Structure 1
């Protein structure tokens, strides 16, 4: 019974998630996971055929963490904003892994639920089914890119090293000619390090939503 508990696929994914959050997906290996669960690597192949299969499970796990808003009588774009915010909220908790969700939106159960709801809202907004599909596809890519590109999440985790990195980048921009680049030099700090991480995501979501509204039939 203990062995079965150790080899619970959900617990294996939990361990892989912890490793990937700390070190990135490249640090995951079936051998490392087997060692942490005190089993042989072959035992893990009963649940995951290879590392790619495990990474797919991680992507599905992230989508399962999205708290899907309940349908309401609010306008379609208001509901869509709530949906996009819910997706970003879940992904930003695991910025190093956000890219793994791309292949799971039309595969994992949680991804299918998100996709169906997104398409329904876009159709409510006046898009044809085909255009809704294309808008939905590009919206997913935009949200993932927003999280993956988070300047704060991309910095090294060690506080001293992070501060040194930010100072070097800011110094490089500050060294530019303020006469030639007045806007860049005046905004150097925020260009390197967002003044507010929450605001970074708010603007990203609003830009995406504004683009969708802008091309609505």
Structure 2
């Protein structure tokens, strides 16, 4: 029997939380609901969810602070929830490490599709961990001091392992696998986030910024902004 994927719903509006739980249960997900940030942090440890839907406006510590705390030690997929009319800075959420965001009121099919899309982006990591090494086709690119492996979602830089969320790694791998080729933000959104992600081009900018913070310019390669167009992985042999 296949274990159900577990979703932690963090929202102090019981009606909305129950509605989200109902929609996800119909899709055969296991769900658990908590109504505040402190309970969410505790529940992550005991429930060990595959993904968390996190409302921003919570009693006690808010969703942003919960996100900050989780990102100190975990790459748990997180989708932020925000009601229309609330102050919600999408870029701030992404910079703090959110994987997607949903505005309330939401369409039930769109909400389920977004959850599945985020989980799909994390699934290769799970599959690689449970597949014998000798059966895995290796997808990786190598440059001086850098190896990006898409098969097991690992990045090695200057002898160490660099931890990063899957979307960051996928973006880095895509650019590095096409050295010196320029891609527009729209092309990168389409390649990395696919058609079922409704975002804007600032999403790409945020992830490029995160990558640059992890990888300072190397003498042989760097992430370059091509003004007015987009980005490229610049490599000098």
Normalising by structure 2, report the TM-score.
0.29
Relative contact order, higher structure (CA 8 A, sep 6+): 1
Greater strand fraction, Structure 1 or Structure 2: 2
Larger radius of gyration between Structure 1 and Structure 2: 1
